Chains A and B, each alone.
Chain A
Amino acid sequence: MSRKILEVDQLRTSFFTHLGEVQAIRGVSFCLNEGESIGIVGESGSGKSVTSLSIMRLLQHPGKVVGGEIRLHGENLLQYTPQQMRKVRGEKIAMIFQDPMTSMNPVYTIGNQIEEMILEHKNLTKQEARERAVEMLGMVGIPSPEQRLKNYPHEFSGGMRQRAMIAMALSCSPQILIADEPTTALDVTIQAQILRLIKKLNEEMNMSTILITHDLGVVADVCQRILVMYGGLIMEEGTRSQIFYHPRHPYTMGLLKSIPKASDQKQRLIPILGTPPDLLHPPAGCPFCSRCSFAMNICREKQPPYFKDADGHRVMCWLLSEEAPYVEAYEKQKGGVRA
């Protein structure tokens, strides 16, 4: 039985703007086991980044966690002092961000930025920190790391910079790595290399990973479990095969239809029509209601609870209720993508 390392419990995060309270996260719960790799997938604005920033407690004003708990090894991070939180960041949970172009400070060398993090958390001399930085850069596949250490970020290509970011994030051997769209800004071949690297390091270092992306295709190879997010809620959670081969939520089905398939060149990508819900005035019922082709009356009135489909597979959709009518089109799509 794998041990839970991180539990997010009924997390609610809002932004208090001058227009009112934007409820970006509206009760998200999930857990991460030791050594496990999970993916959080959803469209832009679904709350993926806000979830990860809430975990790191890096939300900027006017964002605020308004409810729930985030437990690391059973301890609620939301009750940590800023001092305690600093020991968590980088040392226990490390993070890499979407745009490697802007995520590194342009006026310091790559080496300086990696060593700085090592010196902050480990009791090492400058020399030892430098050696560790060289080792890390080598590990993420940067050639002649001793020389590259002296380079500035602008002297690295995008892919190299993201590798350096990974080297930095992993330099203190964190237990959890949160990667927020680590490959979105990179071109496709580099994207695959970086994903392979994350997967390899995840296995080698026995680290847990949360990979955030808007592209289901990205998590397919890397993650064992997938959470599908929409409108600040988790719509569906399941193992990789449950999500890909037995999707139950209409939104997940829509996402699957929008992944390009290498095997079928002629197939057209089908985007999900409509716009995400207004989180300033979140709908009373199912957030996907206005875009769902199976929407029923109850969907508009009441937010669906989680229905359990199989072990570890939960779905927030009224169609799984026992009282739901038989919908043929829906039943047909249950097969998901068959490769």
Chain B
Amino acid sequence: MAKYIIKRILYSILTIWCIITITFFLMKIIPGDPFAAEKLPNAAVKAAISKQYGFDQPLYIQYVKYLGNFVRGDFGISYQKAGVTVNKIIGDGFPYSLTIGIWASCLVVIVGVSMGIVSALRQNKIADRLIMVMSTLGSTIPSFVLATGFLYLFSKTLGIVPAFGVDEAAGYIGPVLVIGAFSTAFITRLTRTSILEVLQQDYIRTARSKGLSEFRVIVKHALRNALLPVVTYVGPMIASIVTGSFVIEKVFGIPGIGKLFTESIINRDYTMIMGITTFFAVFLVITVLVVDVAYVLIDPRIKYE
């Protein structure tokens, strides 16, 4: 078990390194630079700025420097917002996305899994049909439509939540619901399908033939097996939810990391892009790692592979 975890951690580090390297060189290949748009007085000033950011040095030195800084947790200084470190910008924006992300993830897992269970156990009954209609809507309506609709109804018409920003706690309700909608719908379906499939398995028949109660058959024998595919999906899902969504942050006026990322791409703010990409990569790799380890704990068959 310990060996497995260590192996997984080493793989994760390797993955992060690959992502950083690829992003770094891609940034350098792309033509144009962040200062192209600026009205720089003359070549001398441009050279000075280049020197300040280390552009005059050979590529491999820049690369090694970047890696070194990364290991120390330093993502450098933003090109656009002069003098402000990338760390500071991420540190300002991320907490919003994280708060929304954590709440949305809880919503997705709790509501999605319970609706999936209800739906499977009431297969083809009214509750099931209703949930399936909702989950179809949830997975097909684009999030900006949901967001606008939400604001129209709860903010403009009913006035329960603020129209913009997250100064009040109520401001989080909209973003959490809208961000969670798609994944909730997806997990509902995934859980339903998975339970229905597991209920056809021979070991469920065995469990029933032992005289166990239906409750025990479902909770002990069906659910644990049925939730395995759900767990696999939840890791990357949490990562993608927590790393924010530009559209939703824009609509609800949240200064989150999704908005920062998109802005930095538009502005060719290389250090910002690098910083956020790397940050996301680390985040994703860690969630996947945690999920994999959790998976081993619930499925004994994987341990010895």
Interfacial residues, chain B to chain A (CB-CB below 8 A): 200-203, 205-214, 220-221, 224-225, 298-301
Contact = CB atoms under 8 A, between A and B. Distances in A.
A212 B200 CA distance: 21
Interface stretch (A12-20, A83-91, A262-270, A320-328): A83-91
B201 to A, nearest CB: 7
Contact of B202 (A103, A107, A168): A103
A241 interface: no
B224 A107 contact: yes
B211 A117 contact: yes
B209 A56 contact: yes
Contacts of B211: 86-91, 117, 120-121
B203 A103 contact: yes
Contacts of B301: 106-107, 152, 154
A105 B221 contact: yes
Interface in A95-113: 95, 97, 99, 102-109
B121 to A, nearest CB: 13
Contacts of A103: 202-203, 205-206
A129 interface: no
A264 B207 CA distance: 44
Given A105-B207, A152-B301, 11 more contacts: A58-B209, A94-B210, A97-B202, A97-B209, A103-B203, A105-B206, A106-B301, A108-B221, A116-B210, A117-B211, A165-B206
A196 B200 CA distance: 31
Nearest to A114: B210
A97 B210 contact: no
Given A102-B203, A103-B202, A168 B221 contact: no
B203 A90 contact: no
A80 to B, nearest CB: 12
Contacts of B200: 60
Nearest to A61: B123
A259 B260 CA distance: 76
A56 B202 CA distance: 15
B210 A102 contact: no
Interface string A175-215: 00000000000000000000000000000000000000000
A78 B50 CA distance: 87
Interface of A: 56, 58, 60, 82, 86-91, 94-95, 97, 99, 102-109, 116-117, 120-121, 152, 154, 165, 168
Contacts of B203: 102-106
B212 A120 contact: yes
A49 to B, nearest CB: 10
Given A103-B202, A105-B221, A106-B225, A94 B209 contact: yes
A25 to B, nearest CB: 18
B202 A99 contact: yes
Nearest to B204: A105
A216 B200 CA distance: 29
Contact of A107 (B205, B210, B212, B299): B299
For the complex of A and B, the 4 pairs showing the least CB-CB separation, nearest first, are A90-B211, A89-B211, A102-B202, A105-B203
Nearest to B222: A105
B206 A104 contact: yes
Contacts of A58: 205, 208-209
A112 B137 CA distance: 42
B209 A107 contact: no
A102 B220 CA distance: 16
A165 B207 CA distance: 11
Contacts of A95: 209
Interface centre among B212, B224, B225 (most CB of A within 10 A): B212
B243 to A, nearest CB: 32
B206 A97 contact: yes
Contacts of B220: 108, 116
Interface centre among A60, A97, A106 (most CB of B within 10 A): A106
A60 B202 CA distance: 12
Contacts of A90: 209-211
A5 B213 CA distance: 25
A237 B225 CA distance: 43
Contacts of B208: 58, 89
26 contacts: A58-B209, A60-B200, A89-B208, A89-B209, A90-B211, A97-B205, A97-B206, A99-B202, A103-B203, A104-B206, A105-B206, A105-B225, A106-B203, A106-B225, A106-B300, A106-B301, A107-B299, A107-B301, A108-B220, A116-B220, A117-B210, A117-B212, A120-B212, A121-B211, A152-B300, A152-B301
Contacts of B298: 107
A107 B301 CA distance: 7
A90 B299 CA distance: 27
A48 B224 CA distance: 31
A48 to B, nearest CB: 15
Nearest to A57: B208
B294 to A, nearest CB: 13
A168 B207 CA distance: 11
Contacts of B206: 97, 103-105, 165
A151 to B, nearest CB: 9
Contacts of B202: 97, 99, 102-103
Contacts of A56: 209
